[in-house]
């Protein structure tokens, strides 16, 4: 019975993930990133995916974004916001970070990056040290786990 419940929760999670990814596509056109992060934060009392592990959530989000048709250059934004949202729904105290780095190829174009951390440790895709990126902001703002 317990295994069946876990499978049902995981299936609902996967369906919710697909709808959430479509929602991010829409929001990307309408609102700035800091407002998207605020909208991605569910209430603290709502934890429907608390039985899922961090690895399960990360793997499902990455698999869902494996072959993007939209937002190809902003993969980290979709991945970071989705991972942040579902880790919060699992009851984890995730923090989403946004940084800016100097251009690598085109001198007129800055490079932005988004990643998620738990307890000060990156969950996936932190910025590479050689990019010398600067953290612009993180959400929730009151969090103290800034990664240098």
Instruction: Kindly report the pTM of this predicted structure.
Output: 0.84
- 146: pLDDT strictly greater than 50: no
Q: Which of 77, 75, 82 is nearest to 60 (CA)?
A: 82
Instruction: In whole angstroms, give the CA distance from residue 15 to residue 40.
Output: 17
Q: Which tens digits make up the pLDDT trace of 49-100?
A: 998 999 999 999 999 888 766 655 678 888 999 999 999 999 999 999 988 8
pLDDT value, residue 44 = 87
Q: Which tens digits make up the pLDDT trace of 117-142?
A: 998 899 988 877 777 778 888 888 76
Instruction: In whole angstroms, give the CA distance from residue 85 to residue 17.
Output: 10
């Amino acid at each position: 019975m317990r295994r069946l419940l876990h499978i049902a929760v995981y299936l609902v999670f996967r369906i919710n993930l697909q709808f959430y990814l479509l929602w991010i596509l829409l929001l990307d056109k309408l609102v700035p990133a800091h407002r998207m992060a605020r909208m991605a934060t569910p209430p603290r009392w709502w934890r429907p995916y608390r039985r899922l592990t961090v690895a399960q959530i990360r793997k499902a989000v990455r698999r869902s974004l494996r072959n993007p048709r939209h937002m190809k250059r902003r993969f980290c934004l979709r991945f970071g916001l989705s991972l942040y949202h579902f880790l919060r729904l699992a009851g984890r105290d995730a923090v989403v970070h946004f940084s800016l780095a100097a251009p690598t190829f085109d001198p007129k174009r800055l490079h932005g990056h988004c990643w998620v951390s738990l307890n000060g440790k990156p969950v996936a895709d932190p910025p590479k040290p050689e990019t010398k990126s600067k953290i612009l902001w993180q959400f929730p703002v009151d969090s103290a786990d800034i990664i240098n």
